[in-house]
Amino acid sequence: MNQELQLENYEKKIKRVIISEEEIRAAIKKAGKTIDAIYDGRPIVLVSILKGAFVFMSDICRAVSVPCEIAFMCAKSYYTGTQSSGVVRITMDLDRDIKDCHVVIVEDIIDTGRTLNDIIKVLKSRNPASLRVVTLLDKPSRRVVDLKADLSLFTIPDLFVIGYGLDCGEYYRNLPYIAEYGE
């Protein structure tokens, strides 16, 4: 396949923008203020769930004014395509102790909730002072576990979405907005 045809197919998969860059920016600014109010100057550890949440983490850490450290975990449930495998694997763990820390998990999207549910169990077992979840996107209609984020920036319907860190087959993470992916 030649490069021109690949680009044409790439762009055709972006069905429609559902959350604009400006809407994301405004929601993150508001979320930063909410996080600041919750912690009132106390230091926090922001834990990004890779790969999808890295863009969101970058913006959230700049939106808060409380002292913060960043840490990363990687967990997978989507391996290829647009369907969850239903199996969650933690493929990269934290490289620091979080005992007695105020931890905020920074997630890109909560879909079935399996991945995040497993991560929460692991982190709670490490005795943080507090553990909260902030997610960019929430898809409650797909939930299969009893899980609710402490702070959700956007609730979306059951669509496969890309952009702002979210991918399909590792592509589209660089889009500055959230779009519906179309086959």
Check if 95 is active-site: no
Catalytic residue among 108, 111, 138, 167: 111
Q: Is the separation of the CB atoms in 167 and 51 below 8 Å?
A: yes
Q: Dump the DSSP string for 144-157.
A: -S----SEEEEE--
Q: In sequence order, what are the residues at sequence separation of 6 or more whose Cβ sits closer than 8 angstroms to the Cβ of residue 22?
A: none
Q: Is the separation of the CB atoms in 57 and 49 below 8 Å?
A: no
CA distances from 151 to 32, 133, 172 (A): 11, 6, 25
Q: Is the dihedral of CA 177, 137, 129, 122 positive or negative?
A: negative
Active-site residues, by number, are: 111
